Amino acid sequence: MIVNQSAPAATVVPILIYADVARAIDWLKDAFGFAERLRAGRGGVVSHAQLIVGDGALMVGRQGAEYRPPRAGEVQQYVLVTVEGVDEHFERAKRAGARIVEAPHDTPFGERQYTAEDPESHRWTFSQHVADVPPERWGATLAVR
């Protein structure tokens, strides 16, 4: 197996586009607790970065001709991140200025979650496992056993 030090180890890595990657890195670290793994750019302008949280990873890239961040109120996708202590995480994000879309709440499928937007309108749902609920109890069916 080849290991590439330039790539995150996670199997699935979302890539989000930001107008100001350096500002996005700082904000995501401060508000959501990400750690910076790698940063790249030229002439003092950051164009790419890799962030990690737990065993997950995220890449952030610079806005270009065909890539742009979502517009305010426009949801193209959202990222789900599992955390411990979702209520404390929520308070941290709120203090950092995250726009809260949905306050922490318990779901029928055994999670406690909240949803927030970062300054460039990307949506994030943070989730904590609070109960082991069989999928059939809330109306889902396992496709693979």
pLDDT digit string, tens, across residues 24-75: 999 999 999 999 999 999 899 999 999 999 999 999 999 887 777 778 777 7
**CA dist., res. 62 & res. 138, Å (int):** 40
Task: Return the CATH class of domain 15-138.
Answer: alpha beta
Domain ranges of the chain: 15-138
How far apart, in Å, are the Cα atoms of 135 and each of 80, 104, 107, 109?
A: 18, 21, 12, 7
Binned at pLDDT 50, 70 and 90, residue 6 comes out as: confident
Average pLDDT (75-102) is 94
How far apart, in Å, are the Cα atoms of 2 and each of 6, 9, 18, 21, 41?
A: 12, 11, 31, 29, 26
DSSP state of 136: G
Average pLDDT (123-142) is 91
Contacts of 25 (CB under 8 A, 6+ apart): 36, 39, 46, 49, 51, 60
* Per-residue confidence (pLDDT) for residue 145, from 0 to 100: 63
**CA dist., res. 105 & res. 98, Å (int):** 17
Average pLDDT (2-21) is 88
* Per-residue confidence (pLDDT) for residue 129, from 0 to 100: 95
